[in-house]
Every structure is written in structure tokens, then in C-alpha cells.
């Protein structure tokens, strides 16, 4: 008699918790943005989990179209590949994606703070970092305070390309193009968690298809700062 309602309540709490931690629009655990102004035909491409050995090829595709993007870098990878990390920062915006890419779910406040502090220290050597993206989109208690220290805002997305799976570049592009483009923040990956030398060929193929298709629709490309705060002076 008592057990069943308890289980049901537990499941409800777990479901609500999952929604609160991973839902793109949730601000329960941190200040959060997930799209730009819907009145402007702008798209922000974002890339997580890099830098990787495969990032330079992606940079060449973006340069071919003169498209700016935002890269949420992992501190561990930036120290592993400092030249590539800096190369990205010369043309693109850099965000903090923690130091070792853990899921923050159930982690202590000091663990979360340490992950963000260490990445911020590494990335701060070569970039001004105003944005954060939680690994797997998972936010948890303690994140708000850790972000406040560095004046970081969490960034979610309007569409995620699922490019870490075996989806083809064409399918990833289709997923993205199915969404209304105005103010859209697109989440893709130039790394694969902590993997060295990842195969990101499907991501690159998707970007090769996406950019001309969106340009054809009259879209422009912006960084997260530009799409979220178009009128703000650069920080
Ligand atoms: Zn990630």
C-alpha cells in the first residue's frame, strides 16, 4: 500500500529531475540560453568536445564560406593540442565544456567547480570565454555558483545533430534543416568526448551540406554571443 505510491512518486521525481537537468529550456540549475532572436535569420553553429586532430579540416570548411562558429572546448584536449586550440580561437568564439567532460549529474559542488575552474584557466590563456556548455547537456546542483564565479552562461541548443552516432552527414544535415532556421543554435561535435584522433567525417560532411543550404535560404551565421546578444558590445 505504501510501496506503490512511493515508487510512483520516485519515478515522477526522477522524470522531473531528468527534464530539469537536460531540457534545453530549463534554467533550474543555471542561467541558460538555447536560441537567438527568432526575428533574425541567423544560425549559430556550435561544436563540442574539441579541439581534436580532426578540427583543422572543419576549420577549412568554415573558412571556405567565411562562417564564424562557437567551439565549446574541453580543457584536457586544449592542453593536449594547444596549437589547434589557438588556431580555432583566432577565427571563432570559444566556450568552456569542462576540463575532462564528465556528466555533472550527482557530482558534488566542489567537483563541478574544479572542472569548470581548470578548463577556464586553460582556455583563458588564449580566449575570452563567456559561455559554458554542460557535457551531455546535464546540469546539476552547484553549477550555478561555479558559473557565476566566471560570469559564464550555459548554452543549450535548438537542434542537436546526433553526430556522435553512426548517422551519415546527409542525415545530420536533414535533422538540422528540419528546424526553423531563425535564431537556431545547432549543436555538433569536432571531437568525441575524450577520444584522441576521432573520426568526425560525418560532422564535416554535414557542415559541407548545411552551410550552402542555409545560405540559400538567406541565413547568416553568427557566434553564440552575436546571436544571443546582437546589440551588446563585445565583452
Ligand atoms: Zn560534449
* Ligand 1 center to 48 CA (angstroms): 5
Give burial (CB, 10 Å; 0-12/13-18/19+) of 231.
Answer: exposed
Percentage of the chain surpassing pLDDT 70?
Answer: 90
Highest mean predicted confidence (pLDDT) among 91-95, 137-141, 231-235: 91-95
* Ligand 1 center to 134 CA (angstroms): 7
Q: Is 231 a catalytic residue?
A: no
Using alpha carbons, select from 161, 171, 154 the residue that is nearest to residue 43: 161
Mean pLDDT value of segment 1-18: 51
Quick: pLDDT tens for 200-232.
999 999 999 999 999 999 999 999 999 998 877
Cα separations (Å) of 193 from 30, 47, 138, 183? 22, 12, 14, 27
Q: Which of 92, 97, 101, 189 is catalytic?
A: 189
> Architecture of 3-228 per CATH?
Alpha-Beta Barrel (3.20)
**In DSSP terms, which residues pair with 131 in a beta bridge?**
153
Mean pLDDT value of segment 131-137: 95
Neighbours of ion ligand 1 (CB under 5 A): 48-49, 135
Q: What is the grid cell recorded at 14?
A: 526522477
* Ligand 1 center to 1 CA (angstroms): 43
**In DSSP terms, which residues pair with 110 in a beta bridge?**
none
* Ligand 1 center to 6 CA (angstroms): 34
Q: Identify the band that residue 3 occupies on the pLDDT scale cut at 50, 70 and 90.
A: very low
Local structure of 6: helix, strand or coil: helix
Other residues' Cβ atoms within 10 Å of the Cβ of residue 105? 15
Q: Is 189 a catalytic residue?
A: yes
Q: Please give the residue that has the higher pLDDT: either 74 or 19.
A: 74
Q: What is the grid cell recorded at 147?
A: 558559473
Q: Which of 48, 49, 99, 163 is catalytic?
A: 48
Q: Identify the band that residue 15 occupies on the pLDDT scale cut at 50, 70 and 90.
A: low
Query: Is 50 exceeded by the pLDDT of residue 1?
Result: no
* Ligand 1 center to 66 CA (angstroms): 25
Q: Please give the residue that has the higher pLDDT: either 45 or 23.
A: 45
Supply the Cα-derived Rg of the chain in whole angstroms.
18
* Ligand 1 center to 7 CA (angstroms): 32
Amino acid at each position: 500500500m505504501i510501496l506503490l505510491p512511493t515508487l510512483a512518486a520516485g519515478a515522477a521525481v526522477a522524470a522531473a529531475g531528468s527534464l530539469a537537468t537536460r531540457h534545453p529550456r530549463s534554467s533550474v540549475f543555471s542561467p541558460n540560453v538555447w536560441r537567438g532572436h527568432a526575428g533574425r535569420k541567423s544560425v549559430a553553429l556550435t561544436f563540442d568536445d574539441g579541439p581534436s586532430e580532426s578540427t583543422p579540416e572543419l576549420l577549412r570548411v568554415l573558412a571556405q564560406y567565411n562562417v564564424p562558429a562557437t567551439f565549446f572546448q574541453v580543457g584536457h584536449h586544449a592542453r593536449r593540442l594547444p596549437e589547434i586550440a589557438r588556431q580555432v580561437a583566432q577565427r571563432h568564439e570559444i566556450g568552456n565544456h569542462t576540463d575532462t567532460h564528465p556528466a555533472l549529474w550527482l557530482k558534488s559542488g566542489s567537483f563541478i567547480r574544479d572542472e569548470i575552474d581548470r578548463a577556464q584557466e586553460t582556455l583563458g590563456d588564449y580566449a575570452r570565454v563567456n559561455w559554458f556548455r554542460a557535457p551531455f547537456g546535464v546540469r546539476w546542483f552547484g553549477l550555478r555558483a561555479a558559473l557565476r564565479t566566471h560570469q559564464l552562461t550555459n548554452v543549450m541548443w535548438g537542434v542537436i545533430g546526433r553526430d556522435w552516432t553512426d548517422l551519415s552527414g546527409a542525415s545530420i544535415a536533414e535533422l538540422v534543416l528540419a528546424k526553423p532556421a531563425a535564431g537556431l543554435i545547432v549543436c555538433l561535435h569536432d571531437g568525441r568526448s575524450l577520444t584522441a584522433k576521432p573520426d568526425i567525417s560525418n560532422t564535416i560532411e554535414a557542415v559541407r551540406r548545411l552551410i550552402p543550404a542555409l545560405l540559400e535560404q538567406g541565413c547568416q551565421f553568427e557566434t553564440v554571443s552575436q546571436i544571443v546578444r546582437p546589440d551588446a558590445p563585445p565583452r
